[in-house]
A and B are shown apart, each in its own frame.
Chain A
Amino acid sequence: MSDRLSGNEAVAYALKQINPDVMGAFPITPSTEIPEYFAQAVADGEVNTEYVTVESEHSSMSVCIAAQAAGARAVCATSSAGLALMYELLYVAASCRLPITLACVNRALTGPININNDHSDSMGARDSGWIQIYAENNQEAYDNFLMAMPIGETPSVRLPVMTCMDGFITSHAVENIELLDTDVVRRFIGEYNPENYLLKKENPLAVGPYDVSPYYMEHKVLEAEAMKAAKARILEVAAEFERISGRRYGLFEEYRMEDAELALVLIGSTAGTAKAAVDKLREEGVKAGLVKIRVFRPFPGEEVARALAGTKAVAVMDKSEGFSANGGPLFAETRSALYDLKNRPYLIDIVYGLGGRDVKTEDIEKVFGRLANIAATGEIGPVYTHMGQRSKEENA
């Protein structure tokens, strides 16, 4: 069924189709519309979700943890400072191996206070043990949310899943979208049947007990193995999803990469802009390409390295700062992934788009111009720079 929905509407619609058992609901811009639209479905009796209104995101994630541990399917949505307030609980959810689903509508973190898009919120949570799947547009926001539960709930994975979309750019822009029939969605998601849960009367369960040092490390290794196992499961679920939707997803999308010499690696809605720039440059004879990271956790390091193996120069574009003084988080992952290649491309990092700073096709073309220059001269110049800020220096 074709429709026109914003990203938030698309996720709220997916929620309505899934009919989860519990939602821990707390509003924060720009994710507010997700619990808002879904509250309407609850009020209209379209779903039988226990809709728990709480006093903070710390509590909304706590509700999800308790509900999921009890044996329910729990969901929530948040952004920015809301995700930051959940920080402690994100680790609890992941380490208790509770496959909660969270829609993260990416927004800059304070401060200075800002409500617009970048990835600093979810990137701050990148090491919390959550699977992270990023959307380029509304369609992907909808599709990724539908795939989250079959991935996270798999016994070999059992990890919470964060599906991310760009605040306002994706969450509030209305686009054409293909929706699946609700019965198809429900068959795809299936029932949540964990082996053990708090309400199972046959055997009482303790969740999240204190771990002394002779055990903690073993449990962390188990968690790390689950994250590794998630990669294969994500691809399996994508294949199943393709059968019901006709839409194909991988760990990342390679756009015109087959013979690309200059390439970008980036995440989210900027991919649309970058694809337009790549098309234009291709018409001009430039062998430009794009790797759009869809799954950031687990990070598809080997696969990304293979995709970039034939390139001459690559720019990683980070939509969050990271303050490592050594480049953003996507750069750190990508550069690490390329280390094992025999012939590595030149690699630079460009931090851009912070706090809703716009990026245009001309900006992307400039990045490719820089890459062309690096490839031609072998002079890499500054490896880690920012783009789009006002500066006294040229070519900032």
Chain B
Amino acid sequence: MIHAKDINERTPWQDLTPGGEIYEPGTARLFNTGTWRTNTPVFHEAACKHCMLCVPFCPDMAIPVQDGKRLDFDYMHCKGCGICENVCPFQAITMVSGGAPNE
């Protein structure tokens, strides 16, 4: 059985699954959608009160949380929609132009 992690854009047709079937759950994790971003959120940790409002608003689950604190963005899955910046009451997130987080 072929696993999603073993399939990429260089896989020949002979090694793909019939109908594109996927034989396991959660494979979106492997898919780098961060490249779709044209604007990028920047996290200002000092301003963040960890109210967690941004977390459920993120459509791509790109804000990881650990021990009650939000961490920096998961830039592999953040599509740069900017909803987090909009909902943050503390200006702890600002959007910058371009796909790279450090511009």
Interface positions of A (Cβ within 8 A of B) = 95-98, 158, 196, 203-209, 211, 214-215, 217-219, 221-223, 226
Looking at the assembled complex, report how far the CB atom of A221 sits from the nearest CB atom of chain B, in whole angstroms: 4
For A97, list chain B residues within 8 Å (CB). Answer: 18-19, 21
For A226, list chain B residues within 8 Å (CB). Answer: 18
Complex-state Cα separation, A369 to B9, whole angstroms: 58
The listed residue (B18, B24, B25) touching A158 by CB distance below 8 A is B18
B68 touches A (CB below 8 Å): no
For B27, list chain A residues within 8 Å (CB). Answer: 206
For B13, list chain A residues within 8 Å (CB). Answer: 217-219, 221-222
The listed residue (B9, B11, B18, B21) touching A206 by CB distance below 8 A is B21
Q: Which residue of chain A has the shortest Cβ distance to B25 in the bound complex? A: A204
Complex-state Cα separation, A218 to B2, whole angstroms: 15
Q: Which residue of chain A has the shortest Cβ distance to B13 in the bound complex? A: A218
B23 engages A96 (CB within 8 Å): no
A219 engages B9 (CB within 8 Å): no
8 sampled A-B residue pairs with Cβ under 8 A: A97-B19, A205-B22, A206-B21, A208-B20, A215-B9, A218-B13, A219-B16, A219-B19
Q: Which residue of chain B has the shortest Cβ distance to A224 in the bound complex? A: B13
B20 engages A209 (CB within 8 Å): yes
The 5 A-B residue pairs with the shortest CB-CB distance in the complex, in nearest-first order: A218-B13, A206-B22, A97-B19, A214-B9, A97-B18
Looking at the assembled complex, report how far the CB atom of A234 sits from the nearest CB atom of chain B, in whole angstroms: 19
CB within 8 Å of A: which B1-36 residues: 1, 9, 11-13, 16, 18-25, 27
The listed residue (A203, A204, A208) touching B19 by CB distance below 8 A is A208
Given A218-B12, A222-B13, also A203-B1 (CB < 8 A): yes
Given A203-B1, A214-B9, also A219-B24 (CB < 8 A): no
The listed residue (A203, A211, A217, A218) touching B23 by CB distance below 8 A is A203
Complex-state Cα separation, A217 to B21, whole angstroms: 15
Given A203-B1, A214-B9, also A219-B25 (CB < 8 A): no
Q: Supply 12 further A-B pairs (C-beta < 8 A) apart from A204-B25, A218-B16.
A: A97-B19, A203-B1, A203-B24, A205-B22, A205-B23, A206-B21, A207-B21, A208-B19, A214-B9, A218-B11, A219-B20, A222-B13
Complex-state Cα separation, A96 to B20, whole angstroms: 7
Q: Which residue of chain B has the shortest Cβ distance to A155 in the bound complex? A: B18
The listed residue (A203, A204, A211) touching B20 by CB distance below 8 A is A211
Complex-state Cα separation, A97 to B9, whole angstroms: 22
B21 engages A205 (CB within 8 Å): yes
A209 engages B16 (CB within 8 Å): no
A95 engages B19 (CB within 8 Å): yes
For A221, list chain B residues within 8 Å (CB). Answer: 13
